[in-house]
């Protein structure tokens, strides 16, 4: 197969980790006989420096013409001035909007070898394997907002709005993912209080009952979910929820495995390229030192192949290679504890080697 990928290294450690992602794509192409065309473009702070725009038109055009986009990270102290005309993060928001990426997928999986780095006890967290599907373009972050004078000072408001169509498409996407995994779907809402949640519950139940009757389906209130996540995380397979609840729950869940450097994420729409990236930021404190953990980016490459191109065997091969490398004891500094550590490049070498050996 011939596929076209856009690589957006971005700022900080972005270029170092995306370089490792590129090597893994080259490894997959050679092992499975594909041709991958890859081009690099600017986003974030480096794009502001070069042309004053965190998402230049040329970058957006290249993304639109690709099968999928791999992003490193954007941002850093250099662009933090609150008086600046634009900020690196504006590039991220714009690319999500322009590509119509309405669902954010975040797998949260513990790795047995690293489970003792989790803030939770091994017997609670070991074996956790959850896929969060967060609605990304609706709800309170995009609803009407404002302020007006009030007797006590001011009054401020943000409105949470959802339509049937917005709920249907993300629930359908989550249900399809559940079918490919362990067949369990949990919808999280606050239907005892919020009208928008009551619409979520109604629409979600209809989609699942009519189109996915084979799934094991349940609903959980968001406050209860916050507790379940740290008391019985193994109970969940795919969890779908609206934007604000998803934002908070996915950050809570990202603590379970004990390392940010191992968690990938995908933002996808109904058609066109998806955006795949590690969940961590640009880590300016370690940029340029060749010590960043490239595994989250490498696992984002696996998600990219699985979700954008249906290349399940290729994605499995990458995940197995990462697993084997961790099992063999290879660690970058962030996950080494007091033990010895290897560099970003050496970790890339080891995963590539494991991938090519099959």
The residues annotated with a catalytic role in the active site are: 141, 190, 223, 247, 251
- Distance CA(200)–CA(100), nearest Å, equals 20
Which residue in the set 185, 334, 348, 354 belongs to the binding site for ligand NAD (CB under 6 A)?
A: 334
Residue 43 touches ligand NAD, criterion: CB under 6 A: no
| 267 near ligand NAD (CB under 6 A) | no
Which class for 271: exposed (0-12), middle (13-18), buried (19 or more C-beta within 10 A)? Answer: exposed
Q: Which is nearer to ligand NAD, 29 or 300 (CB)?
A: 300
Q: What is the DSSP letter of 94?
A: H
Among residues 75, 91, 107, 264, which is the contact residue for ligand NAD, using CB under 6 A?
A: 75
Please identify, using beta-carbon distances, which residue of 165 and 337 lies nearer to ligand NAD. Answer: 337
Q: Which two tokens stand for residue 81?
A: 């001035």
The residue nearest ligand NAD at its CB is 281
- Which of 251-264 are b and which e, b meaning 16 or more Cβ less than 10 Å from the residue's Cβ? eebbbbbbbbbbbb
Contact partners, residue 266, CB within 8 Å, separation at least 6: 104, 105, 106, 274, 275, 276, 277, 300, 303, 304, 307
Compute the least distance from the CB of residue 19 to ligand NAD, in Å. Answer: 13
Instruction: Report the residue number, 292 or 326, with the smaller CB distance to ligand NAD.
Output: 292
Please give the Cα distance from 77 to 148 (Å, whole number).
34
Does residue 56 interact with ligand NAD by CB under 6 A? no
Enumerate helices (H) and strands (E) in the chain, giving the number of each: 12, 12
* Residue 264 interacts with ligand NAD (CB under 6 A): yes or no: no
Q: How far apart are CA 220 and CA 34, in angstroms?
A: 43
- Binding of residue 189 to ligand NAD (CB under 6 A): no
Of the candidates 279, 271, 250, 296, the residue with the CA atom closest to the CA atom of residue 102: 271
Comparing C-alpha atoms, which of 74, 55, 65 is closest to residue 17? 74
- CA distances for 240 relative to 65, 116, 134, 247, angstroms: 29, 28, 6, 12
**Which range touches ligand NAD (CB under 6 A), out of 71-79, 108-116, 176-184, 191-199?**
71-79
Closest CB 115 distance from ligand NAD, rounded Å: 18
By CB under 6 A, is residue 73 in contact with ligand NAD?
Answer: yes
- Window 243-262: contact mask with ligand NAD (x via CB under 6 A): -----------------xx-
Nearest residue (CB) to ligand NAD, 137 versus 186: 137
Per CB under 6 A, 49 contacts ligand NAD: no
Q: By C-beta, is 120 or 283 nearer to ligand NAD? A: 283
Query: Does residue 353 belong to the site contacting ligand NAD (CB under 6 A)?
Result: no
**Taking CB under 6 A as the rule, does residue 66 contact ligand NAD?**
no
- Binders in 274-313 for ligand NAD, by CB under 6 A: 277, 280-286, 292-293, 296
Where in the chain does DSSP place strands (E)?
2-10, 35-40, 68-73, 103-109, 129-135, 145-150, 153-158, 184-189, 216-221, 238-241, 264-268, 274-278
Cβ proximity of 255 and 147 under 8 Å? no
Please say which residue, 283 or 315, places its beta carbon nearer to ligand NAD. 283
Q: Which residues bind ligand NAD (CB under 6 A)?
A: 13, 73-76, 89, 92, 260-261, 277, 280-286, 292-293, 296, 334
């Amino acid at each position: 197969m011939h596929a076209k990928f856009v690589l957006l290294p971005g700022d900080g450690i972005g270029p170092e980790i995306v370089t490792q992602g590129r090597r893994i794509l080259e490894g997959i192409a050679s092992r499975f006989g594909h041709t991958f065309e890859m081009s690099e473009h600017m986003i974030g702070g480096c794009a502001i420096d070069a042309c004053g725009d965190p998402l230049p038109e040329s970058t957006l055009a290249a993304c639109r013409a690709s099968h999928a986009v791999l992003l490193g990270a954007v941002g850093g102290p250099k662009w933090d001035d609150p008086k600046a005309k634009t900020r690196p993060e504006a590039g991220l928001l714009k690319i999500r909007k322009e590509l119509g990426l309405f669902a954010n997928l975040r797998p949260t999986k513990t790795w047995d070898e690293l489970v003792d780095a989790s803030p939770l006890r091994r017997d609670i967290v070991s074996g956790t394997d959850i896929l969060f599907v967060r609605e990304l373009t609706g709800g309170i972050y995009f609803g009407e907002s404002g302020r007006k004078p009030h007797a006590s000072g001011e009054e401020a408001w943000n409105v949470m709005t959802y339509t049937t169509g917005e709920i249907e498409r993300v629930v359908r996407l989550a249900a399809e993912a559940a079918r490919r995994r362990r067949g369990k779907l949990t919808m999280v809402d606050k239907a005892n209080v919020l009208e928008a949640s009551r619409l979520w519950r109604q629409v979600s139940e209809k989609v699942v009952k009519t189109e996915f009757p084979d799934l094991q389906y349940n609903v959980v209130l968001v406050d209860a979910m916050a507790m379940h996540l740290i008391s019985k995380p193994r109970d969940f397979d795919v969890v779908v929820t609206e934007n604000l609840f998803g934002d908070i729950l996915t950050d809570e869940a990202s603590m379970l495995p004990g390392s940010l450097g191992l968690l990938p994420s995908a933002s996808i729409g109904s058609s066109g390229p998806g955006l795949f990236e590690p969940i961590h930021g640009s880590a300016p404190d370690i940029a340029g030192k060749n010590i960043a953990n490239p595994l989250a980016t490498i696992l984002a490459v696996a998600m990219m192949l699985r979700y954008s191109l249906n290349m399940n065997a290729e994605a499995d091969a990458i995940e197995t290679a990462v697993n084997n490398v961790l099992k063999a004891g290879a660690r970058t500094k962030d996950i080494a504890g007091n033990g010895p550590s290897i560099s970003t490049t050496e970790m890339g070498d080891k995963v590539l080697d494991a991938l090519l050996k099959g």
